[in-house]
Amino acid sequence: MQTFVQISIGFARAGVLGYGGGPSVIPLIEHEAVKNYQWMSSDEFGETLALANTLPGPIATKMAAYVGYKVKGSMGAVVAILAHILPSLAAMIGLLSFLYSFRDSPFISGMVQGVTPVIAIMLLMMALGFLKKASNGLGMKWMALMLIIGIILLEILLIHPGIVIALFLSAAFIYATYKVKNNVNNTQKEKDVQS
């Protein structure tokens, strides 16, 4: 029962504090899942995020469903999704009703604009963390090459992010399969030479 309470608190906190939509919620979910409750490692979170980006629908809800399912199965996924959605929905209805009555106020406009740099910093810190993981796993040269290819595909050729992620996942799968097959062949050759 304690775990369901933790799932509810963690995802409610991420949902309510995640001002600005899905991308701004991801660092908060990462904080809860990786650092606060240690339901998964940072690497697993990054892999889950990459996979979730290839699937349709809101990213934060998919992440809540995955983490909840990992921690407590199907019921954990339901609790995580509801805990993530309901408090923010109630807060949004209440806050938007309040803000709508002051929609022409320069104070409210400034308040909304003041939050934007905080979200940008949160996303930047998460991106830097992913770059660090990529350089550790791929090496600096390959990480830089993948970064440049990603920028070209996303920003210059304007290919949909889901397609780019699917391409990178497919390339990684092909490379890993080749590497494993090559290692098995080398091991077999060494055994043949020894015998």
Query: What amino acid occupies position 28?
Result: L
Name the pTM for this structure: 0.55
Q: Which two tokens stand for residue 158?
A: 């304007």
| 168 band by pLDDT with thresholds 50, 70 and 90 | confident
CA geometry: angle 140, 144, 150, nearest 5 deg: 145
Which helix or strand (DSSP H or E) is residue 186 part of? Answer: helix 161-194
CA–CA gap between residue 48 and residue 62 (Å, rounded): 9
* CA-based nearest residue to 162, from 153, 149, 173: 153
CA–CA gap between residue 151 and residue 106 (Å, rounded): 37
pLDDT tens for 4-32 read 888 988 888 887 777 666 677 888 889 88
Domain ranges of the chain: 2-133, 139-195
Q: For residue 20, what pLDDT is reported? A: 63
CA–CA gap between residue 40 and residue 80 (Å, rounded): 15
- Show Cβ contacts of residue 37 under 8 Å, excluding neighbours closer than 6 positions: 6, 10
pLDDT higher than threshold 90 for residue 1: no
56 close to 25: Cβ distance less than 8 angstroms: no
pLDDT tens for 88-124 read 788 778 877 777 777 677 877 777 777 778 878 878 8
Residue 60, Cα to own-chain centre: how many angstroms?
A: 8
Q: For residue 69, what pLDDT is reported? A: 92
pLDDT tens for 64-88 read 899 999 999 999 999 999 998 888 7
Q: Cβ-count burial of 131 within 10 angstroms (0-12 exposed, 13-18 middle, 19+ buried)?
A: middle
pLDDT higher than threshold 70 for residue 38: yes
- Show Cβ contacts of residue 126 under 8 Å, excluding neighbours closer than 6 positions: 26, 27, 30
Q: For residue 26, what pLDDT is reported? A: 84
Q: For residue 22, what pLDDT is reported? A: 67
Mean pLDDT of 39-48: 87
